[in-house]
Amino acid sequence: MRVLVTAIALVLPTAALAGDLVFDCGAPDADYPEMVTHLTKYYGQKKGHITIGNVTREVDVYSGLGTLTFLYVSEGYALNYAVDPDTGAYTYSASGRISGHGRGTCTHVES
């Protein structure tokens, strides 16, 4: 039973649950592979996760005027994705040892 609970705890943060907002995002700029990402905002929370390739990281999610901002802060750099949930347009910026910015399009995925 303990193994089952541990397995569920490991999988749960990366799985989208009903009510979560989920976006698949891409960009025309191949110079920034982190712009091709999967963004998830947990239902009823100011938290979520981003997935870039095979790497998933917990993020803070902030609601603004017509946007959801997914913010990942690590030691030495920060990633910021601001998504307009109505149009799917998003802006990306990175600061610190990873720096860059760009624009792309997200598709809302039903969770």
- List, for residues 52-93, the tens digit of each pLDDT value: 989 999 999 999 999 999 999 999 999 999 999 999 999 999
Question: What are the structural domain ranges in the chain?
Answer: 2-109
Q: How far apart are CA 23 and CA 76, in angstroms?
A: 26
Model pTM score: 0.80
Task: Identify the CATH number of the domain defined by range 2-109.
Answer: 2.40.160
Q: How far apart are CA 20 and CA 40, in angstroms?
A: 7
Are 44 and 61 contacting, i.e. CB atoms less than 8 angstroms apart? no
